[in-house]
């Protein structure tokens, strides 16, 4: 079982021949961060801040938010932490944003879009992140969810830079993957959200069990967008991570590394298996597996072909 291999892996993330791929943990709050800090994860690749406030009908104050964020920064004081600003809306409605019901919430006002009506929610959250960073001596990377255009990335990055934080965006909308080079001109890193990228690429609701075969990160079209984003990152000399569930599948993790992704962030429980999976293959094997997965007719064929190359 994966857990047996996990116990043997102690980091850092790299293939058998030494190609570095950071293995990071996804967390939802301070107690999850304490648990993740006990793994060999090189840091936090996705802190889903909206999960801290799901039940709230009033906006948490800057001071209250700062306390919640500091509880995640502290256990990772000497490691990287990527904080995601509120990904409200769609499957994660936040009552305090004043957001109203929509006919197609996944295509509605979610993620960074809640900040566009100038309600100050984003600025107060960034103030809280900066306050927590100052208090804990951290310099967090801060990324926005649901970016669709380079202009949105520029707008967000400016607000992050004035607070001396490191700006990035999620690539989870196909439009953003297609223009990743222009987005990367504005930010210091990007992170692929393969859950939503699959949903929007395949036009298949991520919550629909009936559409699960379509909504699959092994879909060659999804992998093609990952590859395009990784190429743009390499050309810009900037990190391209994956923080969707795809990164938790040790086989797919090797394929993503082969596509050129520079970090993988997954549930803390999967960190050991992903790290161990990378450690037993060469980068050349990963690249070959990526090539066959991209060329496959469908997810099942891609997985089988990648498995044959990765053992």
Q: Which residues bind Mg ion (CB under 5 A)?
A: 172, 193, 196
Binding flag, residue 216, ligand PEP (CB under 6 A): no
Among 150, 168, 244, 258, binds ligand PEP (CB under 6 A): 244
Q: Is 194 in the site for ligand PEP (CB under 6 A)?
A: yes
- Could you give the CA distance from residue 210 to residue 163 in angstroms, rounded to a whole number? 44
CB of 51 to ligand PEP, least distance (A): 8
* CA atoms of 242 and 240, how far apart (whole Å): 7
Smallest gap from Cβ 197 to Mg ion, in A, equals 8
Q: Which of residues 27-86 bind ligand PEP (CB under 6 A)?
A: 46, 48
Quote the CA–CA distance of 160 and 144 in Å, as a whole number.
10
Residues, the chain = 311
Residue 171 forms beta bridges with which residues?
192
Q: Is 193 in the site for ligand PEP (CB under 6 A)?
A: yes
CB closer to ligand PEP, 106 vs 307: 106
Element housing 72 (H / E): helix 62-73
Residue with smaller CB distance to ligand PEP, 271 or 288: 271
Using the contact rule CB under 6 A, the part of the chain among 180-188, 191-199, 219-227, 302-310 near ligand PEP is: 191-199
CB 288, min distance to Mg ion, A: 29
Query: Binding of ligand PEP at residue 243 (CB under 6 A)?
Result: yes
Tell me how far apart the alpha carbons of residues 137 and 291 are, in angstroms, rounded to a whole number. 42
Nearest CA among 185, 171, 121 for reference residue 143: 171
Is residue 239 within the footprint of ligand PEP (CB under 6 A)?
Answer: no
Q: Give, in order, the Cα–Cα distances in Å from 189 to each of 98, 170, 210.
A: 30, 9, 34
Select the binding partner of residue 174 from ligand PEP, Mg ion, none (C-beta < 5 to 8 A, by kind).
Answer: none
Q: How far apart are CA 196 and CA 201, in angstroms?
A: 8
- Residue 217's Cβ-count burial label (10 Å; 0-12, 13-18, 19+) is buried
CB of 206 to Mg ion, least distance (A): 9
Q: How far is the CB of 232 from ligand PEP (least distance, A)?
A: 18
Residues near 230 by beta carbon (within 8 Å), at least 6 away in sequence = 240, 259, 260, 261, 262
Nearer to ligand PEP, 174 or 193 (CB): 193
With CB under 6 A as the contact rule, the residue among 22, 172, 216, 249 that binds ligand PEP is: 172
Contact partner, 194, from ligand PEP, Mg ion, none, Cβ < 5-8 Å per class: ligand PEP
From CA 302, how far away is CA 195, in angstroms rounded?
Answer: 18
The full DSSP string for 78-121 is TSEEEEEPP--BTTB--GGGTPPP-SSGGGSS-GGGGGTT--SH
| Stretch 86-125: interaction string toward ligand PEP, x if CB under 6 A | -x--------------------------------------
Of the pair 146, 286, the CB lying nearest ligand PEP is at 146
Contact 82, 24 (CB under 8 A): yes
Q: What residues line the site for ligand PEP (CB under 6 A)?
A: 46, 48, 87, 172, 193-196, 243-244
């Amino acid at each position: 079982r994966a857990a047996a291999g996990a116990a043997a892996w102690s980091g850092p993330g790299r293939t058998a021949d030494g190609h570095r791929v950071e293995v990071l943990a996804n967390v939802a709050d301070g107690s999850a961060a304490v648990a993740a800090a006990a793994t060999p994860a090189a840091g936090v690749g996705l802190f889903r801040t909206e999960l801290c406030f799901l039940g709230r009908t009033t906006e948490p104050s800057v001071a209250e938010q700062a306390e919640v964020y500091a509880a995640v920064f502290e256990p990772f004081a000497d490691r990287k932490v990527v904080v995601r600003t509120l990904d409200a809306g769609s499957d994660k409605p936040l009552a305090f944003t004043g957001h109203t019901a929509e006919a197609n919430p996944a295509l509605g006002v979610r993620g960074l879009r809640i900040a566009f009506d100038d309600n100050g929610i984003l600025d107060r959250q960034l103030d809280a992140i900066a306050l927590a960073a100052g208090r804990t001596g951290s310099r967090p990377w801060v990324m926005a969810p649901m970016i669709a255009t380079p202009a949105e990335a520029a707008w967000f990055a400016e607000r992050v830079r004035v607070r001396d934080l490191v700006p990035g965006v999620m690539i989870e909308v196909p439009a953003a993957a297609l223009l990743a080079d222009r987005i990367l001109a504005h930010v210091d890193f990007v992170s692929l959200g393969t859950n939503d990228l699959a949903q929007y690429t395949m036009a298949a609701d991520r919550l629909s069990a009936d559409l699960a075969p379509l909504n699959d990160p092994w879909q060659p079209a999804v992998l093609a967008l990952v590859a395009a984003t990784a190429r743009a990152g390499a050309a810009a000399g900037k990190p391209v991570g994956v923080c969707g569930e795809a990164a938790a599948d040790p086989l797919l993790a090797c394929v993503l590394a082969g596509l050129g992704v520079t970090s993988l962030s997954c549930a803390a429980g999967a960190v050991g298996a992903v790290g161990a999976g990378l450690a037993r293959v060469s980068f050349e094997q990963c690249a070959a597996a990526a090539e066959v997965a991209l060329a496959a007719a469908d997810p099942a064929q891609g997985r089988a072909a990648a498995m044959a190359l990765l053992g």
